[in-house]
Amino acid sequence: MLLYSLLHLTGYDLPLEELKRFRQWGSKTPGHPENFLTPGVEITTGPLGQGFANGVGLAVGAAHLASRFNRPGFPVIASHVYSIVSDGDLMEGVASEAASLAGHLGLGNLIYLYDDNRVTIEGSTSLAFTEDVPRRFESYGWHILTVEDGNDLEAIERAIREAQAETERPSLISVKTIIGFGMPTAGTRKAHSDAPGAEAVKATKRSLGWPEDAEFLIPEEALAHFRLAVERGEQAEGEWNALVESYASEHEELGRAWRETMSGELPRGWEEHLPSFENAKPVATRSASGEVINALAPHLPMLIGGSADLGPSTNTDIKDGGSFQHGSYEGRVMHFGVREHAMGSVLTGMSLNGGLIPFGATFMCFSDYMKPAIRLAALSEVQVVYVFTHDSVGLGEDGPTHQPIEQLAGLRAIPNLYVIRPADVHEVREAWRTAILRRDAPTALVLTRQKVPLLDRQNVYAPAEGARRGAYVLADSTNAEGATVMPRLVLLATGSEVSLALDAREALQKEGTPVRVVSMPCWELFEEQEREYRESVIPPSVTARLGVEAGARLGWDRYVGPSGDVICLTRFGGSGPGDVALRELGFNVENVVARARALL
């Protein structure tokens, strides 16, 4: 409500009526701020610690663009990122991860005010949080300032000015405050979220010298003072626009690049640089993904990202991109360290900063560490690309702790997230194309560690462009003469299991059973297609359907139907060579053929 009140007072399109509808269905003032819903809200926050890490992402994005575009006399990006953070925020692990990263990177454009009121929902922070917060942040490499009285506005301003002058370290200003100041319950847990009641509201107004019976009172002189923000903002924006115009005149090429980058439009002809993979050999889809990244990077300067200490394994390093480090913010290779949760949240902040398409990588199993950040990115409608490799028991010797089972189903359950599991190098190309074009939502790419066969798209199988519709007929059913006929069985598969389905189809076709193989790299995209197309791919009249995927069964029943079957995993994997693990767990031609025969 503090944020909404300030947005209203300073002239944003947030009428007083919307404040009166706080937390009501359909209002622009939901219980926690949503960036796409409320004018002036820049980040969707709520879960503690997320805003802290998002702010680090904003600072990273600004630092990168400033390093790329600023020139002497033309600081087109000279902003600071501010946040108010709480005791609860600083207890969360994601905040610790992000704070450590921010300190390492020396993000001097980051200024956080720590609302040190020493109270959480259960009571005093002494119940669970007795550490010396300023010293912890000092050890992270932050600049520490303290304001003893949160009502001393001059002291707060002095601290902010000092923080602005610190350019080599992020700043934490510890502000001692009293929660619920002026309320009868001030300084207690009841002031946190308990409804105070009418009498307590009146008592609070008396304590603060406010008319007791006035509701939603805004004195004219107060409103006039706050609305000066509009005039000041217009003046500041006008000065900045003039600076950008001069910049574009002085540095024509950079000026064009600046406008293109900040417009959010993709460079013309970028798709022409997607690799064709005409002479490719069997490779892991993670390797093919690396080739796509490096083919596009020179032509998509907004593409920036890295991994949680797994660049060599996830193939996500941009060659000659340089490392993003303190003093080298122009680098395009992010080193997030072993901080998956912070990585996910930082990526969201980078995207919301504008001008960037950020990506981050780790092993598929560790997407669990990132799930809260992925969920908020989907809710926030931002473009982030998650690269998840080592996508199944096929990764092999690392064993069940690293072999994902339920992760695919969990990611598919998140609204507004595309989950794409490509079958070969050509589908990898299409997956990246889809992710780059999806400007208002995140995409997860799910890739193999083990090599997958190269599918002959020119002479044997359907073009990979079919993946643009989420699922497509890869190999259709034929009779003994080779003519296309209606299938008796439909094999449905994703990722590395598609080639297995093709091998099983060949065996069944030799027996005289017409079999169609459908590649389904992205369920969410398939569900967006018109009904006629979906039924043309999976005919309702063909009830013998077999799904094949090295993951949990959840979700497959909608496609195989009540008469179908799924070869999936209902247990954890095991340590051993990847091909052995897959074979022992039922992902072999003999088992697929046997289960197909049983359906028929």
Residues annotated catalytic, as ranges = 340
Look-up of token digits 């044997």: 460
Cα–Cα distance, 138 to 305 (Å, whole number): 27
The single-letter DSSP state of residue 170 is -
| Apex 367 CA angle, 361 and 368, nearest 5 | 155
Look-up of token digits 């805004």: 218
Look-up of token digits 């010396």: 132
Q: Under a CB-based contact definition with an 8 Å cutoff, are residues 318 and 294 in contact?
A: yes
The single-letter DSSP state of residue 468 is G
Q: Under a CB-based contact definition with an 8 Å cutoff, are residues 429 and 274 in contact?
A: yes
Considering only CA atoms, which of 558, 554, 456 is closest in space to residue 499?
A: 456
Cα–Cα distance, 581 to 405 (Å, whole number): 13
CB proximity list for 422: less than 8 A, separation 6 or greater:
285, 288, 428, 430, 431, 445, 446, 447, 467, 495, 521
Q: Under a CB-based contact definition with an 8 Å cutoff, are residues 218 and 197 in contact?
A: no
- Could you tell me the two tokens for 179? 């929660």
Cα–Cα distance, 431 to 592 (Å, whole number): 27
Q: Under a CB-based contact definition with an 8 Å cutoff, are residues 514 and 476 in contact?
A: no
Burial 130-159 (b: 16+ CB within 10 A, else e): eeebbebbeebbbbbbebeebeeeebbeeb
Q: Under a CB-based contact definition with an 8 Å cutoff, are residues 514 and 486 in contact?
A: yes
Helix (H, G, I), strand (E, B) or coil at 136: helix
Look-up of token digits 């598969």: 493
From residue 412, give the alpha-carbon distance in Å to each of 375, 521, 524, 577: 11, 12, 8, 28
Q: Under a CB-based contact definition with an 8 Å cutoff, are residues 478 and 485 in contact?
A: yes
CB proximity list for 263: less than 8 A, separation 6 or greater:
none
Q: What angle, 0 to 180 degrees and rounded to 10, lies between the N-to-C axes of helices 93-105 and 340-353? A: 70
Q: How many CB atoms lie within 10 A of CB 117?
A: 21
Please state the three-class secondary structure of 528-571 as a single string: CCCHHHHHHHCCCCCCCEEEECCCCCCCCHHHHCCCCEEECCCC
- Quick one: CA dihedral 95, 96, 100, 106, positive or negative? positive
Cα–Cα distance, 189 to 186 (Å, whole number): 8
CB proximity list for 161: less than 8 A, separation 6 or greater:
none
